[in-house]
């Protein structure tokens, strides 16, 4: 990948391309563990991890919260009156960041990269203009698009939802954005297109026709899929589950719920899961639970990497920093042969008071290092095999004799009960699960033992 300082202006002056310097380095602008070309289990770290940068948090999120305005100063828009000029500058800054941090992918919403116009046609034209620029920058830098999406939740017109809006007119306006965002994704060679539910949910059943809303969502997704396929899109569609926020109840609650929804509406061949750590937590699940649930059903796709705050019940979107979480995530991902089209997209934001331009780099460096360590631990888990062998042995009674017969559907309930009666109570069922032992084993991998 070429170093790339775009246009006339360097937006992150004084920051060079971030390099691997090893765990002992005290330089905050260096990787301590992420060594892109290091080979783990036959594959380079960068090809395992497929890091992507989320445009919305990194270049649009200004640190504003419900209690006060933004705190982050964006040099690409400061003193610029024309929205399109600001969007152009922002794209230059973004590609400078992608290349300096060494991420090979990026992800965007339509409205992150280009402003809404006076009408849908003008909005689409704005998007196409910026997409042409992004395409040129992708060509020059080698950075690729992980996925695109449409923001059909921020504008007040979507306060009652997009595809699940009670007004048909809003559903049609959502379609203008989704259609244009699919076109943009195809134009940029994106390997995926994501639907995060946004306001596809409800606040009160007193004003909601739940069946109609779910049917409309299913219908809308079928239309989007058919359109994209007709236009030649060969990539994957992702649904990103989230149980709540902004709606009280979101239709895409968690992975299991979404799998049921996809099967019900015949979308299971084209759609996979984009699992976000913080959303898993809000659903009362471990991040690893969501990943494993998707993986074992063949619905694993991509990851929005971040973390929540265990003390808070909302989407804090902090940068990941738990080695246990990243190890367990990478363990599931390695077990199914790694990412295919997906990757690790940092849907994470720096804090409101992280106002130095270098903070954005330091935050991503930390997240990338955490997943590099997680990858190494997961590979140790696989190479050593203590944990997988334990799990295999735990279920061994289903692999031969009557257990195997049961597993292949060869027993009736009467036959099964008969086997139980003959065996009697004895000590059946009292085999240790050895969780503490396995946790100790995991700790030893964490320390590289």
The reply to whether 276 sits near Co ion by the rule CB under 5 A is yes
**Contact indicator for 291, 277 with CB cutoff of 8 Å:** no
Name the catalytic one among 110, 112, 252, 254.
Answer: 112
> Least Å distance between CB 23 and Co ion?
30
Question: Which of 276, 281, 290, 325 contacts ligand XUL by CB under 6 A?
Answer: 276
Residue 84, C-beta contacts closer than 8 angstroms, at least 6 positions apart: 114, 115, 126, 129, 130
Which of 72, 109, 289, 364 is an active site residue? 109
In the shown chain, the binding pattern of residues 173 to 212 toward ligand XUL, with x for contact by CB under 6 A and - for none, equals ---------------------x-x----------------
Under the criterion CB under 6 A, does residue 110 sit at the interface with ligand XUL?
no
DSSP string, 90-101: HHHHHHHHHHHH
Residue 149 is a binding residue for ligand XUL (CB under 6 A): yes
Nearer to ligand XUL, 35 or 110 (CB): 110
Are 63 and 74 a contacting pair, CB within 8 Å? no
**Residue 251 touches ligand XUL, criterion: CB under 6 A:** no
Q: Does 58 bind ligand XUL (CB under 6 A)?
A: no
Contact 147, 238 (CB under 8 A): yes
Task: Determine contact, residues 163/174, Cβ cutoff 8 Å.
Answer: yes
The candidate with the shortest Cα–Cα distance to 243, out of 283, 203, 205, 276, is 283
Instruction: Please work out the total of residues on this chain that contact ligand XUL, with binding judged by CB under 6 A.
Output: 11
Task: Write the CB contacts of 273 (distance below 8 Å, at least 6 apart in sequence).
Answer: 238, 239, 240, 241, 255, 258, 259, 290, 294, 299, 300, 301, 302
Choose which of 35, 96, 200, 240 interacts with ligand XUL (CB under 6 A): 240
Residue 289 designated active-site: no
Footprint on residues 290-329 left by ligand XUL (CB under 6 A): 304, 315
Residues 6+ apart with CB under 8 A from 198: 151, 152, 153, 158, 161, 162, 246
62 is annotated as an active-site residue: no
Q: Which is nearer to ligand XUL, 11 or 56 (CB)?
A: 56
Q: Is 21 helix (H, G, I), strand (E, B) or coil?
A: coil
Work out what residue 315 binds among ligand XUL, Co ion, none; the CB cut-off runs from 5 to 8 Å by kind: ligand XUL
Task: Please tell me whether the peptide bond between 246 and the residue prior to it is cis, using omega within 30 degrees of 0.
Answer: yes
Please tell me whether residue 111 binds ligand XUL under the rule CB under 6 A.
Answer: no
Please count the residues of the chain: 449
Chosen from Co ion, ligand XUL, none, partner binding at 290 (C-beta under 5 to 8 Å by type): none
List of residues contacting ligand XUL (CB under 6 A): 56, 109, 149, 194, 196, 240, 242, 276, 304, 315, 347
List of residues contacting Co ion (CB under 5 A): 276, 304, 347
Catalytic residues: 109, 112
């Amino acid at each position: 990948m070429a170093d790339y300082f775009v246009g006339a202006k360097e937006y992150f002056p004084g920051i060079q391309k971030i390099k691997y310097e090893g765990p002992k380095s005290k330089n905050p602008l260096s990787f301590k563990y992420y060594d892109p070309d290091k080979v783990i289990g036959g594959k380079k770290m960068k090809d395992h991890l497929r890091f992507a940068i989320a445009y919305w948090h990194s270049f649009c999120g200004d640190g504003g919260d419900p209690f006060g305005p933004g705190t982050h100063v964006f040099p690409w828009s400061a003193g610029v009156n024309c929205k399109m000029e600001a969007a152009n500058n922002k794209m230059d800054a973004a590609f400078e960041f992608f290349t300096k941090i060494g991420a090979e992918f990026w992800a965007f919403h339509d409205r992150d990269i280009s402003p809404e116009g006076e009408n849908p046609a003008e909005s689409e034209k704005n998007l196409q203009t910026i997409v042409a620029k992004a395409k040129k920058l992708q060509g020059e830098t080698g950075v690729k698009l992980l996925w695109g999406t449409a923001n059909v939740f921020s504008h007040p017109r979507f306060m009652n939802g997009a595809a699940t809006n009670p007004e048909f007119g809003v559903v049609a306006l959502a379609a203008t954005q989704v259609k244009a965002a699919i076109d943009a994704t195809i134009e940029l060679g994106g390997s995926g297109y994501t639907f995060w539910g946004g306001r596809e949910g409800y606040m009160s059943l007193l004003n909601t026709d739940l069946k109609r809303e779910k049917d409309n969502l299913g219908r809308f997704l079928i239309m989007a899929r058919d359109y994209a396929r007709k236009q030649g899109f060969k990539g994957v569609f992702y649904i990103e589950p989230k149980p709540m926020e902004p709606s009280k109840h979101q239709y895409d609650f968690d992975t299991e719920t979404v799998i049921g929804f996809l099967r019900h509406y015949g979308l299971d061949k084209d759609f996979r899961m984009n699992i976000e750590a913080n959303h898993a937590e809000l659903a009362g699940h471990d991040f690893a639970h969501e990943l494993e649930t998707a993986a074992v059903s063949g619905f694993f796709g991509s990851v929005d990497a971040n973390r929540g705050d265990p003390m808070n019940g909302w989407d804090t979107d902090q940068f990941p920093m738990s080695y246990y979480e990243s190890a367990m995530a990478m363990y599931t991902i390695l077990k199914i042969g790694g990412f295919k089209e997906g990757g690790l997209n940092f849907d994470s934001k720096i804090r409101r008071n992280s106002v130095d331009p270098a903070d954005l780099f330091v935050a991503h460096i930390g997240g990338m290092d955490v997943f590099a360590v997680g990858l190494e631990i997961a590979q140790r888990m696989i190479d050593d095999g203590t944990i997988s062998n334990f799990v295999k042995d735990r279920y061994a009674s289903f692999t031969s004799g009557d257990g195997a017969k049961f597993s292949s559907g060869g027993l009736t309930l009467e036959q099964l009960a008969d086997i139980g009666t003959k065996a009697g109570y004895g000590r059946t069922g009292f085999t240790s699960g050895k969780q503490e032992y396995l946790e100790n084993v995991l700790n030893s991998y964490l320390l590289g033992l």
